[in-house]
Structure 1
């Protein structure tokens, strides 16, 4: 399939730099073949190699990876468009003339005479951070010193081959089913064995472990196309009268039981069994809610707390003082307040407010004009707010509980809404308070003032017959809508990025659940078409049409390396890019087939990876970067994200580039689960799941940098294990105290202190145990005193604490005696050898469990398991593992996630397939 824009001189019109030719002559292709050597075969293309420093490149030389000028259109409305326009995914520029397409700025002129000031440039351009130095053990290398990525090469190839076969099989089965439906049914009876597959009787519906009936033969059919499960009691109601008469009382008893079960489940709406509300349709018939919760009004600072300007305390107007407190209260966040861009943006907005309010007044009432940021001193403001924070932390537990209860009571009316007569939890019902915008990564707008949102800016969406929630006194709503196609309750436009903020239902609501469900069903549908897509883009990698070759290369990178597609952006947005908006400097080539990607991705987080690609893809990238292209020029200059998604939708409705990430993760996990045979303890089974999740993250290139605290965390876990081993040794010594003959009977080795637990370590550990005991006693004393005060009783005196601390003193004396004599006396009433042996075994189990957990944590240091498990792996696959290997779902999903994925937990059994 050829792109519609292949003959146009330039698809995007986004750059004023060099542009690729519209076609690639065969002679040029052959010439490039001579320059590009074939891969050395060390690693199958399609897997990333490492996250490490960039070496000197043979082809491109050093690249200036900071100057990223990829601009893409914001999802938010920049010019105040309506909420529906703002929520659209992207604009399609394909049919627009060049003169009307969005253009972006070219890199600033650095030639002679140009300004050398970088004060207006985003931080990403001013100071580029180098990637961290990475040791072999930090990039997933196993005990055999071979990276797991290399070991998974064969697995990746096998999974891709399996996907191709499965896609063909699904389509063949669908064709066969379609043909069989068109054939007239035969009246005469046939043996089931002689019937074609499409006409054979389906296996009887069996009851899943969660009570939902399911046909075995429809595992690969999207849930939206499956017949809804029969309601309980339905079979009894449709039985023939003769059959009812034969069964008599038994039938009545069965009907009664089924009716009771149906009544118990009446309040649960199992929407996943019959999802029928598609995008663009009416989402609700009736909707009632109580609006939003506004942040409290600003309380001025006490008279003696002031900002200083040039060393002089100054008085500010209430509005200006509030903005000053935004900055002053966060001086402890050095990452932000010491950022030059943050300071510049804050002071620009602060001065705007000062200009409106008349700046400041000195101690004698004289006017003081605030003109320089470095003369502003916010330390007194910080000290005031820091003291308030500490005082809040120090409040008694009972008082904290009372404050929380009062807050919950005040917010209770806003926490739920009535959606089609069903009570649904609302998500973000609080309007964000004013403050300073931080952004992620090196955002160019970091530090700007987020203004207070007024009721006059808020649009309410509610049912026509419902009571409209009253606006705060003296205010009114911007507008009241009755948009039944929208799933939002309220919305407004914020002042930083002009994005629309929406109040939506909570993650565990029916509507949010349906959104997740559709996302994973779309990925599930992709497995029917993946073989054809891969075959087509592999063919088009050699196309003579430049637009087709660029598109095929982009789809290859998105499929193999999980790159995001990227969109056009506005000039004042963060310099983030994706696959379609990659710049010349973001891609560095290393012959024979290594490619280094280095750019700011989603949320301004740096994406850095070195990968091996197919020889043809390497050659294509070399062509796309061919002179006269230079830094700032687009690599895929004949491709737009909207054009790419339009092309993908020809394979299946709704297919976009982002579906590949979900499909690849879920399909890979599905294949790993089929082959898995998890045994052992719960901890060992959880480790098996995490190992599969880790493989998914590596195969799908969902990586992260090893956390700086990882080594300390592992050391802490090891220290806990050593503490349990020491405790185990002490109990064994108590056994000898009770029966000295045991030493000869069991052998001296059984009772020996482990070699790595030296005497020095033992004494240090003993001191830590004593101090820990003292801390526990102090906390218990404080808690008991708080309870006594709350109950109106007298507070205990410090003497009581001293008496309680004697327990820790006794422990300290006991340890000193043990170290001196080398003997440990049995502790506790009625201690026996049998009881102590039981304690040793329990400790052994705990030690082994912690060892498994520590190994699991260390193995997963370079991959974000939570991200892949929550966002990319179909949650139903986690439920399959949970039911198949009898592991509590709580080990994988927190309470919040269990609510979010309630539909997944209740809709499948252990035999479900992605």
Structure 2
């Protein structure tokens, strides 16, 4: 499909050598003549995910101007620095154990919208943020499966259009040239939802909830309309507001406010607001709320000075510091156990620079006699006393009794309770995270250039509060005031501040299970469903344009191919001076792409959140030739591959097919549509729940592979697998003991069932058996001790005397008896029958249960091994329509708890309740 008029075609990006505006037929013929005759690998799959082999990196010299490209270290060895300091309760030294995060949270590294080159706070319109089968299967088989699914998608698209007679929207009318790539470009009509006259929804303006959405510029503010009040949980308040004449609405709101109780005192049994059941859509969808009340934010506790005998040392000398400098020193000293950070030269350099600035501003460091100590070299700083103090504090905290920990938690919960909920149009809604970030050291994600910088304490004077006009403004801490208070009912955040590291804005938003976030998710998946109608035309058009004579069109078609086939993110322009140099498809540079004949493309770049993206793809030969052309000399390192294409231009082109269509919708569509087809192909008969769960995960795994949702093998994977193997061996040993008990009751069974039936498995060696017996004895002792402690805590809480030590000694006799029993069994090679009234029938029933437990663990082990390099969570939570999971659960009678945790069940309540037990729903 043509991209439109010549005016819409982008000029080449001004950053080095540019591609020619057109491609001559002679150039095309020359490239065709150079085609390799060797066998090409299956098209459309990732064939590798790891480091670049030096001996496999041969590149056409006519493309790169060099014989080989220097390889990088393995992705398994790359260091990822993650800023996880949003947890107010977590120690600064602790990092998240995994780089994979609940995808619905907003990235710390997303850019803020810019105006005239300056960093400005977002306008009212810029503040609506969304939260946003086997690995060993032959590549040809996976590629064929992917090709078949695409053929089915084309047939379905034609069928939908034939059934609904939907007209393709005009190409340019609803599009503004200055629009950002992440704002809805036009509103879909009622008939454009899945090709049917679907119910309208009153969702949020920003329709996508992917976590890779930047805070972007919005369209101009819509004229003030008569806002229709959202259905409220309190019928009286809702009815009063809705029914009031135009001139009396404010008075009614005021009355409702005066009569309302504190947010946290609201009746928990209030009627639930099921927005997904609404039949009417709000007239002005940009208005998010009519009334909004909340209690502000939770600030971190003030810093407490170190004991006098705990000092930072410089060149062996203990130094006295101002309270601000001392706190900054603890940021580094308290995380000495996190060697991946503190041993990173960039982390050290950035910390020391910021630490020096604080020292200079606060009077510097002094020795015990008050003499100034000039701190010049980081290497001479000794933080060991700070770490020893922190480590001792942590151990003491962990050693407290359960009663003390519970009491502290209860006190903290009571203190935080007023901030955890707000009243949104009269409804009680949960706040996502009302805590202001604690000061500390910025970790960043991936190889972030600012890792180690000091994150300063956020003061009330930096925070803007967003609240209803008639609501009471929360009081700031004593002696402080808010930066500003605004009443923007087109924004969904409650509070906002700007952090000092990257100048990004941080927001207090509603929780993932809130109405606003639920609607955003719903609209995201509905838009992906709508894409079903147009996908065949889009693919046919970009396939045709892969051979276009216009360079801009050919580059756009090639980018669309990569985004559609391999789930690459589109990428956004960045202020590289202030941002980590991360890229996406449209912003790929010469050095990020390596070509290997006949049709392998190797990508190696820092992607979203500075996480390294390394992968090899087999592509269509025409795409390979195009990339070869886009890298043609005199292009070199630093030059753009797609120098005549921007993300905005690409999304404007996509919107000509479907209102609001952007590049990121393809990720959701491809994952959901593929999962839908795989689940439809399943044939489940006489399977257990565990087997059904594994079938679902197998489908999810194929989606992750086909959609390129890969990950590195977790550091704990091998340990987890060993633990599972030990559990399975332990159950097999238990089976052998049970059989021996049967033999103890009826020795004739040996002749009846055969001696082999009672043999111990070959891999359960004598050495392993003794080791396992020791483990069982120690495990029983640990359980007895734990039970004794709990019983004592309960007695103390009830005002009773604790149990004496003699009671524990008596209880531990059971472990000693078990140890003696094992010694006797090892000596006699016989096992006495256990339990009350033991019988052969009871023991055979026990064997059946053990067999089922072993089978379940083997399924779990195979599942975990298959998932080690595939990010199932990314697909299931962010890209696969949750209604598909609900349908699977209903169709095969598997509890939804097997797929969604409690948090996810709350987040996807709209999907669970809207589908219910309807196993016929289709994506």
TM-score bin, normalised by smaller chain = 0.7 to 0.9
C-alpha distance in 2, partners of 1:473/1:600?
A: 45
Match of 1:654 in 2: 660
Change in 2 beyond 3 A, CA 1:516/1:602: same
Structure 2 distance, partners of 1:645, 1:176, is 21
Task: Tell me the residue number matched to 1:612.
Answer: 618
The answer to whether the 8 A contact 2:582-2:607 is kept is yes
| Partners of 2:889 and 2:896 within 8 A in 1 | yes
Q: 1:668 Cα shift? A: 0.4
Within 5 A, what are the aligned runs for 1:135-154?
141-142=135-136, 147-154=137-144
In the superposition, the TM-score normalised over structure 1's length comes to 0.82
1:637 to 635, 643, 647: 643
Q: Counterparts of 1:425-464 in structure 2 under 5 Å?
A: 425-464=430-469
| CA 39–284 in structure 1, closer or farther in 2 if over 3 Å, else same | farther
* SS of structure 2 residue aligned to 1:83: coil
> Which one is further off, 390-399 or 569-578?
569-578
Residue 157, structure 1, aligned to residue 164, structure 2: no
SS at structure 2 position matched to 1:365: coil
Cα offset for 1:140? 5.6
Q: What secondary structure is seen at the aligned counterpart in 1 of 2:738?
A: helix
156 and 855 in structure 1: CA distance in 2 versus 1, 3 angstrom threshold: same
Q: Tell me, in whole angstroms, the C-alpha distance in 2 between the residues paired with 1:863 and 1:434.
A: 34
Query: What's the counterpart of residue 99 of structure 1?
Result: none
Please give the alpha-carbon distance, in whole angstroms, between the structure 2 residues aligned to 1:753 and 1:498: 65
C-alpha contact (below 8 Å) 2:134/2:701 kept by paired residues = no
C-alpha displacement of 1:219: 7.5
- Structure-1 separation of matches of 2:283 and 2:599: 44
Indicate how the Cα distance of structure 1 residues 79 and 58 shifts in structure 2: closer, same or farther if over 3 A, else same.
Answer: closer
Is the 1:65–1:598 Cα contact (8 Å) retained in structure 2?
no
Structure 1 contact 140–859 (Cα < 8 Å) conserved: yes
Residue 110 of structure 1 corresponds to none
Structure 2 counterpart of 1:81:
120
Map of 2:48 onto structure 1: 50
Aligned to 1:208: none
Instruction: Find out whether 1:911 has 2:920 as its counterpart.
Output: yes
Q: Does 1:567 align with 2:566?
A: no
Q: Kindly state the Cα deviation for residue 913 of structure 1 after the two structures are TM-superposed.
A: 0.7
| Structural mapping, 1:232-247, within 5 Å | none
Give yes or no for contact 1:271–1:510 (8 Å, CA) kept in 2.
yes
- Indicate whether 1:722 and 2:726 are aligned: no
Cα displacement (A) at 1:14 = 4.5
Alignment CA distance shift 1:226-1:510 (3 Å): closer
Structure 1 pair 177–24 and aligned structure 2 pair: CA distance change class (3 A): closer
| Alignment pair present for 1:582 and 2:596 | no
1:859: Cα distance to partner?
A: 1.9
Distance 1:451 1:14, change over 3 A: farther
SS of the equivalent of 1:424 reads strand
CA–CA distance in structure 2, aligned partners of residues 529 and 888 of structure 1:
35
Specify whether residues 268 and 790 from structure 1 end up closer, same or farther in structure 2 by C-alpha distance, changes over 3 A only: closer
Equivalent residue of 1:574, what SS? coil
Q: How far does residue 226 in structure 1 lie from its aligned partner after superposition?
A: 8.8
Per-residue CA deviations over 1:235-284 (Å, capped at 9, x if unaligned) read xxxxxxxxxxxxxxxxxxxxxxxxxxxxx998122211237258862111
The C-alpha deviation readout for 1:470-507, integer Å capped at 9, x for no partner, is 11111111111111111111111111111111111111
Q: Is the 8 A contact 2:321 2:364 kept in 1?
A: yes
2:368 paired with 1:363: yes
Q: Is the CA contact (8 Å cut-off) linking 1:492 and 1:500 kept in structure 2? A: yes
Q: Give the 5 Å matches for 1:160-559.
A: 160-175=150-165, 221=196, 223-225=198-200, 267-274=271-278, 276-277=281-282, 281-559=286-564
Instruction: Select 2:786's aligned residue among 766, 770, 779.
Output: 779
SS in 2 for 1:316: coil
Structure 1 SS opposite 2:594 = strand
For 2:33 and 2:541, locate their aligned partners in 1 and report how far apart those are by CA, in whole Å. 25
Q: 1:671 to 1:344 in 2, by over 3 A?
A: same
The 1:334/1:4 distance shift into structure 2, 3 A limit, reads: farther
1:623 deviation in Å? 0.3
Q: Cα–Cα, structure 1 residues 278 and 837, in superposed 2: closer, same or farther, change >3 Å?
A: farther
2:51–2:72 Cα contact (<8 Å) kept: no
Deviations 1:634-691 (A, max 9, x none): 1111111111111111111111111100000000011111121223100000000001
Distance 1:440 1:177 in 2: 45
Matches within 5 A, 1:61-140: 61-64=67-70, 74-75=111-112, 77=114, 79-84=118-123, 87=126
Question: Measured at CA, do residues 10 and 563 of structure 1 come closer, stay the same or move farther in structure 2, by a change above 3 Å?
Answer: same
Q: Specify the alignment match of 1:810 in structure 2.
A: 817
Name the residue aligned to 1:187.
none
Distance 1:73 1:675, change over 3 A: closer
The normalised TM-score by structure 2 is: 0.81
Per the TM alignment, residue 700 of structure 1 is displaced from its structure 2 partner at its CA by 1.1
Secondary structure, counterpart of 1:589 in structure 2: strand
Residues 293 and 411 in structure 1, CA contact (< 8 A), matched pair in contact too: yes
1:11 aligns with 2:37: no
SS of corresponding position for 1:158:
helix
Q: 1:222 to 1:818 in 2, by over 3 A?
A: farther
Secondary structure of residue in 2 paired with 1:770: helix
Report what 1:709 is aligned to: 716
Q: Which stretch has the larger CA shift, 849-858 or 617-626?
A: 849-858
State whether residues 583 and 633 of structure 1, in contact with CA within 8 Å, keep that contact through their aligned partners in structure 2.
Answer: yes
Deviation string, structure 1 residues 52-83 (Cα, Å, up to 9, x no partner): 3422324243325779xxxx993355833132
Q: Which residue of 1 aligns with 2:697?
A: 690
Does the CA contact (< 8 Å) of 1:288 and 1:467 recur in 2? Answer: yes
Q: State the shift of 1:576 in Å.
A: 1.2
Aligned counterpart for 1:742 among listed residues 746, 749, 752: 749
CA 1:177–1:579 in structure 2 vs 1: closer, same or farther (change >3 Å)?
Answer: closer
Tell me if the contact between 2:194 and 2:530 (Cα under 8 Å) persists in the aligned partners. no
Q: Which aligned pairs between 1:827-906 and structure 2 lie closer than 5 A?
A: 827-906=834-913
Deviation at 1:436, TM superposition (A): 0.8
Q: What is the CA–CA distance in structure 2 between the aligned matches of 1:439 and 1:277, rounded to whole Å?
A: 40
Q: Which whole-Å CA distance do the structure 1 matches of 2:564 and 2:334 have between them?
A: 46
Counterpart for residue 129 of structure 1:
none
CA contact (8 A) 1:140 1:149 kept: no
- State whether residues 157 and 536 of structure 2, in contact with CA within 8 Å, keep that contact through their aligned partners in structure 1: yes
- Quote the offset at 1:746 in angstroms: 2.5
Structure 2 unaligned segments of length 5 or more: list them.
74-108, 169-191, 204-267
Alpha-carbon distance in structure 1 between the residues aligned to 2:387 and 2:4: 59
Check conservation: 1:75, 1:87, Cα contact below 8 A: no
Cα separation, partners in 2 of 1:5 and 1:784, compared to 1, 3 Å: farther
Shift of 1:697: 0.8
Distance 2:381 2:696 in 1: 54
Which residue in 2 is equivalent to 1:733?
A: 740
Q: How many angstroms apart in 2 are the aligned matches of 1:81 and 1:368?
A: 40
Structure 1 gaps of 5+ residues are: 91-138, 179-216, 229-263
Kindly state the Cα deviation for residue 8 of structure 1 after the two structures are TM-superposed: 9.4
How far the C-alpha of 1:535 sits from its partner, in A, is 0.7
Deviations 1:804-835 (A, max 9, x none): 22221211111111111111111122112221
1:599 and 2:605 are equivalent in the alignment: yes
Which deviates further from its counterpart, 218-227 or 488-497?
218-227
